[in-house]
Structure 1
Amino acid sequence: MKGFSRPLTGGALLLSLLLTGACGGAVTPATPTSAEGRCVTSYDPAKDYFPVKQTLRHAANFTLTYAKHYQTITVKQPAPGAKPETYVLLRCGTPDPKVAGATVVETPIESLYSASTTHLPFVTGLGVLDRLKGVASAGFITSAQVLEKVKAGAITEYAKGQEIDTEKVIAARPGVLMTGGTEDKAYGPLRQAGIKVVANAEWLEATPLGRAEWIKLMAALTGTEQQAGQVFDKVEGDYRSLADKAKAATAVPVLPGQMYQGQWSVPNGGSYVATLIKDAGGTYAWAGTSGPGSTTLDLEAVLAEAKDAKVWLATVNEWKSLADVEKADARYAKFDAFGAGQVWSSNKTLGPGGGNDFFERGVARPDLILGDLVAILHPDLAPGHEFAFYQKLTR
C-alpha cells in the first residue's frame, strides 16, 4: 500500500512535483442523486437503460462502450506494466451478459472505498459524497467536506498504517474499491473474497484533460452521467479558453520540479506536464524529448541545461521563502530564477495532516492548473488573478 494520496510517493510524485495551478471560475458541484429506485424491477430486453451516454474525447487509458443494459469499461493499463482489465457495469436488476474475463459490477453503486485523494474531487463534483464510505487514510486529505465525514464516522479508514485491513474491507463489502493506479498485495485476496476492485489509473494519461476525463468512470459507476458531462464540459471549455489566450504570447523558459531523494525528475515532451507548460505559454529545456512520464537527472545536469530559466515551478510543502530553498540545497541559488526571485511552489493550500490540495484537486481541475501558470508566466494576461495552488516564495 503506497498511501492514500498516490502522487505523494514513487514515480507519481516525481511527475506531480512539477505542476498545478489555479484560475477560472469554480465548477459548481452537481446536485446529489440517489441510487435508490434505480434498480430494474421488471427487465425489458428491448429497452435502453442508458438514455444518457458518455463519450471519451481525451482519456486514452480506458474505453467505454454501451449495450442496452450494461456498460463495458476496459482499463488498458490499470498499473504500470499490468495487463488490461475489463469491467461490466451491469444495471442492477438486469441479467448478467457473461462477458468472459470481465469483473461484473452492479450499478449504480451504493458504496465506494477509495485508495487515492485524487478521486475525491470527482466524488464531490458529482454530488455523490454520501456514497463514499471508505478511504485508505485520511492523513493527506484536504477536502473539508470529506474530512468532516471522516470525523463524524460516516467514512472509515481502511489502511491507516499504509497496509490494507482486508478483514475490514471484506466485512464492509463496498460496491467498489477503487485503486489509485497501482497494484497492492491485498487486492488479490480481496478479489477472491468477492470485493469488486476497479482500477483508476488516470495518472498514466498523457494529457491534463485526459486525466480529468476519468470523472466519467466515476459517473458510470454512480449513475451520474449527465452531471459528469456538465462538470467536464465546463472544465474543458475553461481550459481551452485559457490556452487560446496564451497561444500568441512569447514562450517563457521555465524550470519544472526540484530534487527528490537525490534526483531531479524532468517531464518528457509527451507528458501531461509538458502539455500544461506549452498551453500556458511556456517552454523548457526538455520540451523536445519524446514519450510520456519523466526522466531523472542529477542537479548538475539540470543546471547545465536550465540555469537561465526565467521561472522556477516547484512543489515543496515546506518551502515558504527563498531562504528555505537555499537551506534545502545551496546549489539551488545558482539558478537565474532564484536570483530574480521567480520561484513559485504549488503549496498554497495544505490540509491539517499535511496533504496538498495541489495533488487532490489538480487531476480534476486542469483549468485551474493552467490558470495559475498563465498568470505566473504572463501576468499581463491575467490581471488580478487569484491563485488556487501556487504562491511566490518570499525573499
Structure 2
Amino acid sequence: MGMSRPLTGTLVALLLALTACGGDSGDPGEAAAGDRCVGDFDPAEDYFPVKQTVRHASNFTLRYAKNYQVITVKQPSPGVKPETYVLVRCGTPAPALTGPLAGAVTVETPVAKVFAGSTTHLPFLTELGALDRLKGVAAAGLITSPQVRALVKAGTVVEYGGVTGEEVDTEKVIGARPDVLMTDGRENRAYGPLRQAGVKILANAEWQEATPLGRAEWIKFVAALTGGEATATRVFDKVAADYGALVAKAAKASPVTVLPGQMFQGQWAVPNGGSFTSRLIKDAGGTHAWAATPGTGSATLDLEAVLAKARGAKIWLPQVNEWKTLADVTKADPRHAEFAAFTSGDVWSINKVLGPGGGNDFYERGVGRPDLILADLVAVLHPELSPGHTFTFYRRLTR
C-alpha cells in the first residue's frame, strides 16, 4: 500500500472484471446518481436547465450542448497543454470525439464517486452538499475539515496516496471504481496505469488562478460534475458579493505597508504585482514594496535585500505553521528583529486553524472562501474598520 507500481495487463484485466460486477448496490451515492439518469432520451430536450457562467476564473471554460457540457482546463499545470472534458448527462448518448473534442475525456454525470487529490477540493464538495460523493483522498493526514476526517476514520473515505499524497496505490484506486479522480493538474507516474484501467483523471487546477475570486469560482467546475449548478451559483455569488463589499470598505482607508512572506531554504519569495497574494493585500487596503513588479508569480531574494527594501513595513504577514510567538521568529533568524513590524508586534500568520497532521485551513477552506480571508486581512490592516472581528485564519504572534 502507498506505493505507485506498474500494473500488468493481466492484473488490470482482473481488476476491471471484478469492478464491472456492479459493486455494492446499497451505496446511497450510486443509487442517487442512478435515479438522476435519463430514462427516455429526447434529442430536442435541454438537459441542463440550470446553466453556470464563469466570470472570474480564467483557467477553465465551460460551454453547454443539450445533453453534455464541455470543460476545457487551459493549463492543468505550468507548460502543459490544455485538457478537455466532455460531461455527458447520464442516460444520454455521448457526442463523437472529433474536431475540437478529439482526445477529450468523457465522464457521465452526475458522478457518484469522487477521489480528491488535493485538500482544496474538499470545501467545494462540502459547500455543494456533495460530501456523500467523496470516496477517496490522497493524503488524509493533511485534511483539516472535521467532517472529512470523520469520514476517513469511519472508513467511508479511503486514503490512496500515502502520507504525502504522491505515492498512489493504483490497485486501491482501480478497486474502488471512482467515477473521477480529481488532481491538482500535476502529473504522477501512477496516472498512466490508471488511465489504462479506465479511471477518469481530471485536473482541478484552481491554484493557478491569480485572483481570489478566480480560485473560488472553481466550485463551478466541481458542480458540473456533481450536478450542483444552482447551489454553486448561489454560494459563489454570496462569496463574491461579500468580497466586493470588503474591498469597497477597505478602499476608504489609507493603504498600509505590508511585508509578505518569509525565508524558506535561504530565500525569501516576494510576490509580483499581479500575483494572488498582491491582489489580496491590495483588496484589503494594503501595499508592499514589490507591488509594481510585473507578473503573477514571485521573485526570490535574500534576507538582506528584503530588509533593504521593506524594513519599515507596518504589518508582517508570514505564512508559517510553526511560528506561534515572536521568539520563534528570532529563533529562525535573529535578523528578523530588524523589521519594524517585529518591533511593534504586528506579525500575523495564517496558522490559526491547523489539522492534527499539519494541514492548514487557510490552504483548504480558504480557497473557496476568499471573503473570509479578506475579512481577516482588513481587520489586521485596518482594525478601526472591523471592531470586534473574530478571525478565521490569521492569528497575531504573541510575545
* Normalised TM-score (structure 1): 0.91
Instruction: Please list the CA deviations of residues 326-355 of structure 1 after superposition, one character each: whole Å capped at 9, or x if unmatched.
Output: 001111111110011110111001111111
In the alignment, the residues of structure 2 paired with residue 303 and residue 323 of structure 1 have an alpha-carbon distance, to the nearest angstrom, of 19
Q: 2:125 aligns with which of 114, 123, 128?
A: 123
Q: In the alignment, does 2:111 pair up with 1:113?
A: no
Which residue identity does 1:85 align to in structure 2? E
User: Is contact 1:138–1:150 with CA below 8 Å preserved after alignment?
Assistant: yes
Q: In the alignment, does 2:393 pair up with 1:393?
A: no
**For residue 149 of structure 1, what is the aligned residue in structure 2?**
151
**For residue 30 of structure 1, what is the aligned residue in structure 2?**
none
User: Is contact 2:268–2:300 with CA below 8 Å preserved after alignment?
Assistant: yes
In the alignment, the residues of structure 2 paired with residue 389 and residue 34 of structure 1 have an alpha-carbon distance, to the nearest angstrom, of 35
User: Is contact 2:139–2:162 with CA below 8 Å preserved after alignment?
Assistant: yes
Q: 2:176 aligns with which of 145, 164, 172?
A: 172
In the alignment, the residues of structure 1 paired with residue 76 and residue 321 of structure 2 have an alpha-carbon distance, to the nearest angstrom, of 29
In the alignment, the residues of structure 1 paired with residue 336 and residue 79 of structure 2 have an alpha-carbon distance, to the nearest angstrom, of 35
Q: 2:72 aligns with which of 68, 71, 74?
A: 74
Q: In the TM superposition, what are the counterparts of 1:230-379 in structure 2 within 5 Å?
A: 230-379=234-383
Q: Mind listing any 5+ residue stretches in structure 2 that lack a counterpart?
A: 1-30
Q: 1:197 aligns with which of 181, 194, 201?
A: 201
**For residue 229 of structure 1, what is the aligned residue in structure 2?**
233
In the alignment, the residues of structure 2 paired with residue 196 and residue 147 of structure 1 have an alpha-carbon distance, to the nearest angstrom, of 25
User: Is contact 1:75–1:85 with CA below 8 Å preserved after alignment?
Assistant: yes
Shift of 1:36: 3.9
In the alignment, the residues of structure 1 paired with residue 189 and residue 115 of structure 2 have an alpha-carbon distance, to the nearest angstrom, of 17
SS at match of 1:139: helix
Which residue identity does 2:62 align to in structure 1? L
Which residue identity does 1:231 align to in structure 2? V
Structural RMSD (CA): 1.0
User: Is contact 1:48–1:68 with CA below 8 Å preserved after alignment?
Assistant: yes
**For residue 42 of structure 2, what is the aligned residue in structure 1?**
44
Instruction: Please list the CA deviations of residues 196-238 of structure 1 after superposition, one character each: whole Å capped at 9, or x if unmatched.
Output: 0000111110100000000000000000000001110110000
User: Is contact 1:181–1:203 with CA below 8 Å preserved after alignment?
Assistant: no
Which residue identity does 1:46 align to in structure 2? A
SS at match of 1:296: strand
Relative contact order, CA 8 A, sep 6+: which one is greater?
1
**For residue 84 of structure 1, what is the aligned residue in structure 2?**
82
**For residue 105 of structure 2, what is the aligned residue in structure 1?**
103
In the alignment, the residues of structure 2 paired with residue 84 and residue 294 of structure 1 have an alpha-carbon distance, to the nearest angstrom, of 24
In the alignment, the residues of structure 2 paired with residue 189 and residue 286 of structure 1 have an alpha-carbon distance, to the nearest angstrom, of 44
What percent identity do the matched residue pairs reach? 69
Shift of 1:362: 1.1
User: Is contact 2:270–2:301 with CA below 8 Å preserved after alignment?
Assistant: yes
SS at match of 2:107: strand
* Normalised TM-score (structure 2): 0.90
In the alignment, the residues of structure 2 paired with residue 34 and residue 167 of structure 1 have an alpha-carbon distance, to the nearest angstrom, of 26
SS at match of 1:35: helix
User: Is contact 1:181–1:202 with CA below 8 Å preserved after alignment?
Assistant: no
Q: 1:133 aligns with which of 131, 135, 139?
A: 135
In the alignment, the residues of structure 2 paired with residue 34 and residue 208 of structure 1 have an alpha-carbon distance, to the nearest angstrom, of 33
SS at match of 1:233: helix
Q: Mind listing any 5+ residue stretches in structure 1 that lack a counterpart?
A: 1-32
**For residue 6 of structure 1, what is the aligned residue in structure 2?**
none
User: Is contact 2:185–2:202 with CA below 8 Å preserved after alignment?
Assistant: no
In the alignment, the residues of structure 2 paired with residue 98 and residue 205 of structure 1 have an alpha-carbon distance, to the nearest angstrom, of 31
Which residue identity does 1:133 align to in structure 2? K
Shift of 1:35: 2.6
In the alignment, the residues of structure 2 paired with residue 249 and residue 386 of structure 1 have an alpha-carbon distance, to the nearest angstrom, of 20
In the alignment, the residues of structure 2 paired with residue 103 and residue 183 of structure 1 have an alpha-carbon distance, to the nearest angstrom, of 16
Instruction: Please list the CA deviations of residues 156-195 of structure 1 after superposition, one character each: whole Å capped at 9, or x if unmatched.
Output: 0001143001111111120000002311111122112111
In the alignment, the residues of structure 2 paired with residue 211 and residue 382 of structure 1 have an alpha-carbon distance, to the nearest angstrom, of 25
Question: Which 10-residue stretch deviates more, 56-65 or 156-165?
Answer: 156-165
Report which of the two structures shows the higher radius of gyration computed on alpha carbons: 2
**For residue 10 of structure 1, what is the aligned residue in structure 2?**
none
In the alignment, the residues of structure 1 paired with residue 333 and residue 132 of structure 2 have an alpha-carbon distance, to the nearest angstrom, of 45
Shift of 1:95: 0.7
In the alignment, the residues of structure 2 paired with residue 147 and residue 44 of structure 1 have an alpha-carbon distance, to the nearest angstrom, of 42
In the alignment, the residues of structure 2 paired with residue 70 and residue 176 of structure 1 have an alpha-carbon distance, to the nearest angstrom, of 16
In the alignment, the residues of structure 1 paired with residue 215 and residue 52 of structure 2 have an alpha-carbon distance, to the nearest angstrom, of 16
In the alignment, the residues of structure 2 paired with residue 49 and residue 341 of structure 1 have an alpha-carbon distance, to the nearest angstrom, of 57
In the alignment, the residues of structure 2 paired with residue 389 and residue 37 of structure 1 have an alpha-carbon distance, to the nearest angstrom, of 40
In the alignment, the residues of structure 1 paired with residue 306 and residue 192 of structure 2 have an alpha-carbon distance, to the nearest angstrom, of 41
Q: 2:162 aligns with which of 160, 166, 185?
A: 160
In the alignment, the residues of structure 2 paired with residue 200 and residue 261 of structure 1 have an alpha-carbon distance, to the nearest angstrom, of 29
SS at match of 1:249: coil
